[in-house]
Structure 1
Amino acid sequence: MNVELNPKTKQFHPGKLIGGIVAVLVVAVLGTNAYASVEYGHVGLYKTFGKLNDNTLAPGIHFKIPFIQTVIQVNTQVTKSETDTSASSKDLQPVSTHVAVNYSVNKASVFHLMNNIGGNYDTVIISPAIQEIVKEVTAKYPAEDLITRRDVVSGEVSDQLKTRLAKYDLIVNDINIVNFKFSDAFNQSIEAKQVAQQQALKAENDLRRIEIEAKQKVAQAQAEAESLRLKKQEVTPELVQLKQIEVQEKALDKWNGVLPTVTGGATPFVDVQSLTQQNP
């Protein structure tokens, strides 16, 4: 029995099918590698055979030559760099400092930064600059001033760091000296000094209080003396006589007409005649 094949089946070639599949895969691969996306807060740079192009790419989708070009992204948002430094103060006290710097990349100069420094500018430029500047500034101040004038020290470090990093197209947005650490012996001496100052302040306040109280007593005594002087000026012979008469009148009102029988003592004298003359 002979089976006659379909003419269309006779024309089927597996090689063509494989070739078609390969072509589709190649197109898909080329398509997916023909564009790149730049994230928000970043800018992009074309890199062709290892060479950077100075054309800066904004956030979004950009076309590129597949397998020949790549797009590198550079973060332009504010970034924090934290560094620990060890230095000595002006009075040779060992000081450990923890510094946090907020910085950003100048968008207009991304090509120069990446072409001259590369993507590891944090460890190559920023951290060494912080350590060097903090050591230099710390050496200008005694250890106590580093504590009491912290804002001044931080401002000087910030000014120098801004000038240094501007050469590399890096912008210093803010700097914070998170902590100063000193030796235990120095911390104990500072604590003892503070206690002594507090005691001296208390003694000074006590002295002022005593002085004020003494002045108040003097003022009170002077006021009483002045009052007594004025009262003495008011006392006249007529006033004295009037007071004597008032006393005698009170004594006469209480007298029952009988003289005391007790002997050996003084008998009160009452001028009855003068009283009777004034009181007819």
Structure 2
Amino acid sequence: MNFEQILKKLPFIIFLLFIILPMFKNSGFFVIFFIVALILFLKYGKQLKNFDFKNSKDTPFGIKNDSKIININNLNNMKNIKTSITFIVLAIFGLWLFFASIVIVEAGQTGVYSLFGKVRDQELRSGFHLVIPLARITKMSIRTEEYTMSIAQGEGKRYTADAITSLTKEGLSVDLDMTVLYRVEEDRASDIYRTIGLKEDIDEKVIRPTIRTAIRDVIAQYEAKDIYSEERESASSKIADKLISELEPRGIVIEQVLLRNVALPANLATAIQEKLQAEQEAEKYDFILAKEKKEKERKIIEAEGQRDAQKIINESLTQNYLYYLYINDLKSREGTIYVPTNPSTGMPLFRDLGK
């Protein structure tokens, strides 16, 4: 293919480059390439369109069919066109190299660096980076992620009901809803990408099967009524410990494990609720009995105190002490005449003079 044929196909080549090159690295280059291609088309498109390579008088080289006369002006014009095209191609290639080297890692992400299929153990932190244009940077989220398995349709990661069915200590089947909050450890992102993959792979290959195994191992240690009531927090804590021991060595940090719901067979749930209600009633009556017993003890102690106090008072009320109290009481009774009536006791018979 000679240069004249290339010139004829130049618009198609520009269009092809316009479509293909921006796909290599980054969308910013797409805009710049479009502007450069548009300038090239506006400057030389009309001139190239008017070239008639079959007519020697109009050929860019100025060569006639019946002679070897060269049109110097046309030749100079073609040299200028060739120089301009070369410059523009080099400029486009330089811009591609520049923009292909730029990588921006957003907050909450880390970049995994790979070159020719080999992953390097060197994560790119959030911010601006310059890399080899041929390198591939895969961005991974290091934010807190949530994985839910629920009996409610559409609530979990899968559209269908996705509760975990497990057997209790007594062999009863229960369905459990579980939510796990986790995140990828940034310093281990390259290793996770190499051995597991991206978030979808982490969820399906690691998180989901580990949750199912941990729940079944832990629930088998409890009776159904315990999981349904007071032992739920204990079971949730044991599941969390098991997930941490399994996943954190692989670079996945477990932040929280929520055992949200325990669904028992209907008849068993009713029986447990009735039993719990009966236990609550029994506890209520025990409380009332204990209260009455305490009240009885209080009254006994109060009566004994009154009896002892009366005994002390009776023992202290001697004849002389009563006389003393009586005489002190007489001081406040003015207008009353007291007449002794019992010489042996000295106790008076008194009368109110006002009456």
- Using the size of structure 1 for normalisation, the TM-score is 0.68
1:80 aligns with 2:146: yes
Label 1:156 to 1:19 Cα distance change in 2 as closer, same or farther (>3 A): same
Q: 1-side partners of 2:106 and 2:306: how far apart?
A: 89
Aligned counterpart for 1:199 among listed residues 281, 284, 302: 281
Name the CA distance, whole Å, in 2 between partners of 1:201 and 1:106: 49
Q: What does the per-residue CA deviation read over 1:178-202, in whole Å, with 9 as the maximum and x for residues that have no partner? A: 2222222122112211232233334
Whole-Å separation in 2 of the counterparts to 1:107 and 1:216:
67
Q: Name the counterpart of 1:90.
A: 169
CA-CA distance at 1:143 after TM superposition: 1.1
Partner of 1:130: 211
Q: What CA deviation, in whole Å up to 9, does each residue of 1:196-254 have, x standing for no partner?
A: 223333444454566567667878988999979x99xx9xxxxxxxxxxxxxxxxxxxx
1:38 is matched with 105
How many angstroms apart in 1 are the aligned matches of 2:216 and 2:110? 34
* Counterpart residue number, 1:12: 77
1:59-91 C-alpha deviation (Å, 9 max, x unpaired):
22222332x211112222332222342112112
Number of corresponding residues: 235
Distance 2:295 2:189 in 1: 73
Paired with 2:298 and 2:184, the residues of 1 have a C-alpha distance of: 69
Q: Which amino acid is 2:270 matched to?
A: Q
Kept in 1: contact 2:112–2:193 (CA 8 A) = no
The code of the aligned residue for 2:95 comes to A
Gaps spanning 5+ residues in structure 2: where? Answer: 1-71, 150-162, 318-347, 350-355
Alignment-derived partner of residue 57 in structure 1: 124
Instruction: Output the amino acid matched with 2:126.
Output: P
SS in 1 for 2:77: coil
Corresponding residue of 2:266: 184
One-letter amino acid of the counterpart of residue 176, structure 2: T
Correspondence list, 1:112-191, <5 A: 112-119=191-198, 120-146=201-227, 147-191=229-273
Distance 1:187 1:41 in 2: 44
The structure showing larger relative contact order (alpha-carbon pairs under 8 Å, at least 6 residues apart) is 1
Q: Aligned letter for 1:96?
A: D
Deviation at 1:57, TM superposition (A): 1.9
Whole-Å Cα distance in 2 between the matches of residues 212 and 107 of structure 1?
A: 62
- Aligned equivalent of 1:273: none
Query: Deviations for 1:111-144, whole angstroms, at most 9, x for unmatched residues?
Result: 2222112222222111110110011100100012
TM-score normalised per structure 2: 0.55
Compared with structure 1, are the counterparts of its residues 169 and 220 closer, same or farther at alpha carbon in structure 2 (3 Å cutoff)?
Answer: closer
CA distance in 1, matches of 2:73, 2:131: 43
1:104 paired with 2:206, answer no
CA RMSD of aligned residues (A): 3.6
Q: 1:69 to 1:219 in 2, by over 3 A?
A: closer
Task: After superposition, give the CA deviation of every residue in 1:15-39 in whole Å (9 maximum; x if it has no partner).
Answer: 4244444333333333221221122
**Between 154-163 and 45-54, the greater mean CA deviation after superposition:** 45-54
Matched, 1:26 2:93: yes
Deviation at 1:58, TM superposition (A): 2.0
Question: Kindly tell me: are residues 135 and 20 of structure 1, through their superposed partners in 2, closer, same or farther at Cα, counting changes over 3 Å?
Answer: same
